[in-house]
Amino acid sequence: MSENTTETIPAFSIEDINLETLKNYDYSAISDMAIAHGTKFLTAFIIFIIGKWIAKRIVNVMDKAFDKAGVDQTLADFIENIAYGILMVVVVIAALGQMGIETTSFAAILAAAGLAIGLALQGSLSNFAAGVLIILFRPFKAGDYVEAAGVGGTIEEISIFTTQMKTPDNREIIIPNNNITTGTIVNYSAKKQRRIDLVVGVAYDADLKKARKVFEKIIAADDRILAKPESQVAVAELGASSVDFVVRPWVKAADYWAVRFDLNEQIKTELDKAGIGIPFPQRDVHLHIQDGAELPVKKKSTAKKK
């Protein structure tokens, strides 16, 4: 059949057409060409249908694997769409090749277009890669309070390219993922418990044992402070103008700020009741007068008030 398809169809002019000519015309070349091209088209169509079915099956298998592995749904959908697109491009190229269409140049054009798009979107691609890392390794999740890219806030949404957070004063901040992964991430919600670190200075003439009992009494009276790990109250430093205590109770992460604020108020109130002063920075000035020198006297102004 391949030899017949290469034969040329006998030519004739309109004037030569008559019943006898049509009756005696050799239609075998036309039928052979129609059969050959029809077979190619049918094969290409079958390749496309089967290839599309296989692509969907592969994507379904990927979806089940991602679901079993606990991969974030946003990332899973994105990867599945990319995989399906690549598989369909392969299927279309295979179908076109079966029809006799030259696909080498077509593949080269696709590769060149992909390179150009990659160079144009390199910033977005870096954010995409960072988003994949965040979703896979989960340094934080929605609802966590974190410091990242120089700002702090509660994570509201993690997408492929950006992360959205809300600040304590209710501002919405959208950060490119690449800015997050290239810096330090501090996740304050990662652990269930947090330690409050307070430094309280008391006067040098204060009774240190009495001051310690005041701190321990305040800690024991607050039900939000955990018994384990044990709270710490100790003299940390003999400062320039005060004896500095460290007060370090443990609380649930959700109670951190509320307990911290209340402790500051309670410590000031209870120290005042106990007569223990909290000194502020001060400087002692010593005036030395030489023998026979007179102290400067401030002159009264003689100007009359109007």
Instruction: Give me the mean pLDDT over the 270-277 stretch.
Output: 94
For strand 250-252 and strand 193-195, is the pairing parallel, antiparallel, or unpaired?
Answer: antiparallel
User: Which residue in this structure is represented by tokens 């696709």?
Assistant: 110
Helix axes 122-137, 73-98, angle to 10 degrees: 130
Find all residues with CB under 8 Å of 207, minimum gap 6, and list them: 276
pLDDT of residue 1: 43
Residue 228 scores a pLDDT above 70: yes
Sign of the Cα torsion 148, 150, 154, 157 reads: negative
pLDDT of residue 44: 83
Instruction: Give me the mean pLDDT over the 19-45 stretch.
Output: 66
What domains sit in the chain, N to C, each tagged with a CATH number? 2-120 (1.10.287.1260), 140-187 (2.30.30.60), 193-273 (3.30.70.100)
Fill in the amino acid letter for 164. Q
Backbone angles phi, psi at 24, to 5 degrees: -90, 0
Indicate the pLDDT class of residue 5, thresholds 50, 70 and 90: very low
Backbone angles phi, psi at 260, to 5 degrees: -60, -45
Cut 0.85: pTM above it: no
